[in-house]
Amino acid sequence: MTRICLFPGTFDPITKGHVDVIERAVGLFDKLVIGVGINSSKQPMFSLQQRTGWIKDIFRNDPRIEVASYEGLTVDYCRQINAHYILRGIRYISDFEYEKAIADMNRMISPDIETIFLTCSPLYSTISSTLVRDLIRNKANSSMFLPDEVRF
């Protein structure tokens, strides 16, 4: 059985923290699909094409990583791509509480899909897309938090 994992998120924009989690997780699976979720309750700063393009560019040399977009329930998309694992990055205890609630719900509706939590490296634990977007909106230098491929 091929071990396929979905790493879902909005990645608006993808940060060095996301990249850290992806680079440490990719070796645990045969294939890691970075799923850029389309969430009707969120209005992203960057277009879906821009976000998926950045991610494809960052991981262009790793054939184990795929990038896709999806809408709807994450577990439904997991079934669509035959993924039995969902990867979630954790920065703080508050992230864990939120993510555990989602993981528990997912487990109840799809017991065959396991959620894997990977803690962020301490160097990146304070980085969030929300804070980075605030820097960008206010024309502050955000480059130290973003991969080189993320340009706007």
The catalytic residue positions are 18, 42, 91, 129
Helices (H), 35-141: 48-58, 74-81, 93-109, 129-137
CB 99 within 8 A of CB 19: no
Q: How many CA atoms lie within 13 A of 65 on its CB side?
A: 21
- How many whole angstroms from its chain centre is CA 34? 6
111 prior amide bond cis, ω within 30: no
Pick from 36, 33, 81: which is nearest to 59 by CA? 33
Could you give the CA distance from residue 85 to residue 97 in angstroms, rounded to a whole number? 19
CB 44 within 8 A of CB 10: yes
Q: In angstroms, what is the C-alpha Rg of the chain? A: 15
